[in-house]
Chains A and B, each alone.
Chain A
C-alpha cells in the first residue's frame, strides 16, 4: 500500500479517537452526576415515607438548586402537597422556587400561578387575588389567572369585578362567558332590589339580557319584581317569556305564574298556557296544576279522569299522591280508582333496582353473587325502603 495513503488515513483516525474519548468522558461525568441526584432523591423519598415531610422538602429543594431539570418535579411536588391539604408545605415549595434567581420566565409564572392556588386553598384570598392580578397585568398565564380571579370574586360576591374579569377572559381566551356574565348581572339586580333600588335592578336586568338575550333567570327575576310590585299583568308576561326561554324551569316558574294568573283573574289563560306546556313538557308539574284547576272548576271526577289519563303516560309519585288526595275528596268509583292506583304503582316499580352493590352502587333487578360492575363477591344486597325488595 502507498505510504502516503496511510498518512491520509491518520486524519480520520485522529478525528475518531478525539470523538470517542470526548464521548467516554461525558458518559462518565453524567453517570457521576446521576448517582448524586439519585442518592438525594432516595434520601428525600426516604424522609417522605418515614413521615418526615419537612426534611424531605429540604432535600428536594437542595436538589432543585443543583439541577434545573428537576424544577417540573418540584412543581408537581408542591401540587401534591396542596391536594393533600398540606398547604403550608405547598406554599414553601412554590415560594422557594420563585425565589430562585436563575428561574426561567415561563417556569416562574407557572410557580406564581401555583402559589396563588395555594393561597386560595389556604383561604388567603387577598394575597391570591394580588398574585393573579399581577399575572394578568404581566399577560402571563392570563386565562388561568382570570379564572381564579373570577372564582375569588364570586366567593366575595364582588359581581362588578367578576364581570370585568369575565369579559377580559372572553377577550383573551375566546371562550364565551355570556352565561356567567348574565348570572352576575342577575345577582346585582337581586341585591339592588333587596336594597330598594328598583330602577338600578331593572338596569341590571337589561344588562343581563344584553349579555345573553332571552336569559331565563332574568325573565324570572323580572316576573318576581313585577309580582312584588303588585303588577300581575307584567309578572304574567315575564313568566311566560321565561317559559318560552327554557321549558326545563317549569317547576320553578309555575307556582309564581299560577299565583299571578289568580291575582289577575285570568284562569282561562292559565288553562290555555298549561295545556300547551303539558303537550311540550315531560314532567308532571303542569299536569298537577291543570288537574287542580279542573277540580276547582268542574269537580273531582273530571280532575281524576284527567290525572289518571296523564299518569298512565308519565308515572310519578307526586302525581299518585295528588290522585289519591283528589279521589279521597271526591269518593267516586272506588274499585276503578284502586285498580288505577295499582297499575300506576306497578309502572313506577318497573325498572327500579331490587338489589344494589354495597361496593360500587351498581343496581340490579335480579340477584348476582358477583357484582357485574365491580366484580366483588357477595356485595349485592337487597334495597330497602319505598321501592325495595
Chain B
C-alpha cells in the first residue's frame, strides 16, 4: 500500500515538474502592492498546494471547534457523559 502511494506521489511530482518545464513562460500579476512576473506552471502548482493546505486547515479547525462544543455540553450536563 505504501509503495503504491509513493508511486502515485512520484508520478504526480513528475507530472508537476513536466508541467512546470512546459509552461516556463512568465505571467504578469498585479497584486496592487506588487506587480511581479511569475512562471506560469510554478504559480499554478503553488496555488494547488495552497488550496490543499487550506482544505486541511479548515478540517482541523472544524474538528477543534466540535471538540470544544462537546466538552462545554458535557460540563453543562446536557450531553452524554
How many contacts between A and B, using CB within 8 angstroms? 52
B28 at the interface (CB under 8 A from A): no
User: Do residues B63 and A23 form an inter-chain contact, with CB atoms below 8 A?
Assistant: yes
Question: CA–CA, A20 to B60, complex, Å?
Answer: 10
How many angstroms between the C-alpha atoms of A16 and B51 in the bound complex? 8
B25 to chain A, nearest CB (A): 15
Q: Are A22 and B59 in contact (CB under 8 A)?
A: yes
Supposing A69-B71, A72-B74, A72-B75 touch, asked if A14 and B59 sit within 8 A by C-beta, the answer is no
A22 and B44 within 8 A (CB): no
Q: Which single member of A7, A18, A21, A72 contacts B54 (CB below 8 Å)?
A: A18
B14 at the interface (CB under 8 A from A): no
- Cβ of B58 under 8 Å from chain A: yes
Which of B48, B59, B63, B75 is close to A11, meaning CB atoms less than 8 Å apart? B48
Across-interface contacts of A72 in B (CB, < 8 A): 74-75
B75 touches A14 (CB 8 A): no
Q: Closest CB of chain A to B3's CB: distance in Å?
A: 19
Residue contact B59 to A26, C-beta cutoff 8 Å: yes
Contact at B59–A15, with CB atoms within 8 Å?
no
**CA distance in complex: A11, B53 (Å):** 11
Please provide the chain A residues from 242 to 257 with a CB less than 8 Å away from any CB of chain B in the complex.
none
Considering the chains assembled together, what is the distance between the CA atoms of A7 and B74 in angstroms? 46
Whether a CB of chain A sits under 8 angstroms from the CB of B47 is: yes
The 0/1 profile, CB within 8 Å of A marked 1, for residues 24-65 of chain B is: 000000000000000000001001111111111111100100
Given contacts A26-B63, A69-B71, A72-B75, contact A21 B48 (CB under 8 A): no
Residues of B within 8 A of A15 (CB): 51-52, 54-55, 58
- A9-41: CB near B (< 8 Å → 1, else 0) gives 011101111111111001000000000000000
Contact B48 A22 (CB under 8 A): no
- Cβ-defined contact, B49 with A19, below 8 A: no
Measured between beta carbons, the chain B residues less than 8 angstroms from A7 are 44
- In-complex Cβ contact of B55 among A18, A26, A73 (8 A): A18
Of A11, A12, A18, A69, which is in contact with the most chain B CB atoms at under 10 Å from its CB? A18
C-alpha spacing A23/B56, complex, angstroms: 7
Partner of B48, one of A14, A20, A26: A14
List residues of chain B with CB within 8 A of the CB of A11: 47-48, 51
Distance in Å from the Cβ of B4 to the closest Cβ of chain A?
Answer: 16
A31 to B60, CA, bound (A): 16
Q: Is the CB of A18 within 8 A of B74?
A: no
A18 pairs with B44, CB closer than 8 A: no
CB contacts (< 8 Å) of A12 on chain B: these are: 51
Partner of A22, one of B50, B60, B71, B81: B60
> Chain B contacts of A18 at CB under 8 A?
51-57, 59
Residues of A within 8 A of B50 (CB): 14
Q: Are A26 and B60 neighbours in the complex by a CB distance under 8 Å? A: yes
- CA A18 to CA B55, docked complex, whole Å: 5
B55: nearest chain-A partner, CB-CB: A18
Q: Which of A207-234 contact B (CB under 8 A)?
A: none
Query: How distant is the Cα of A36 from the Cα of B11 in the complex, in angstroms?
Result: 37
Q: Which residue of A lies closest to B52 (CB)?
A: A18
- Whether A21 lies near B56 (C-beta < 8 A) is yes
Indicate the member of B54, B56, B71 with the most A CB atoms within 10 Å: B56
Do B52 and A17 touch (CB < 8 A)? Answer: yes
Determine the distance from Cα of A72 to Cα of B52 in the docked complex, in whole angstroms.
Answer: 38
Q: How far is the CB of B55 from chain A (nearest CB, A)?
A: 3
The residue that B52 contacts in the complex, of A14, A23, A26, A69, with Cβ under 8 A, is: A14
Which of chain A's residues have a CB closer than 8 A to the CB of B48? Answer: 10-11, 14
CB distance from A86 to the nearest CB of B (A): 22
Instruction: Kindly list chain A residues whose C-beta atoms are within 8 Å of the C-beta of B58.
Output: 15, 19
Give bound CA distance, A22 to B50, whole Å.
Answer: 14
CB distance from A114 to the nearest CB of B (A): 16
What CA separation (Å) do A26 and B63 show in the bound complex?
8
A4 to chain B, nearest CB (A): 11
Q: Within 8 Å CB of B63, what residues of A?
A: 23, 26
Q: Could you list which residues of chain B lie within 8 angstroms of chain A, going by C-beta atoms?
A: 44, 47-60, 63, 71, 74-75, 81
**With A12-B51, A17-B55, A19-B59 already in contact, 4 other A-B pairs whose C-beta atoms are closer than 8 Å:** A7-B44, A10-B44, A18-B56, A23-B63
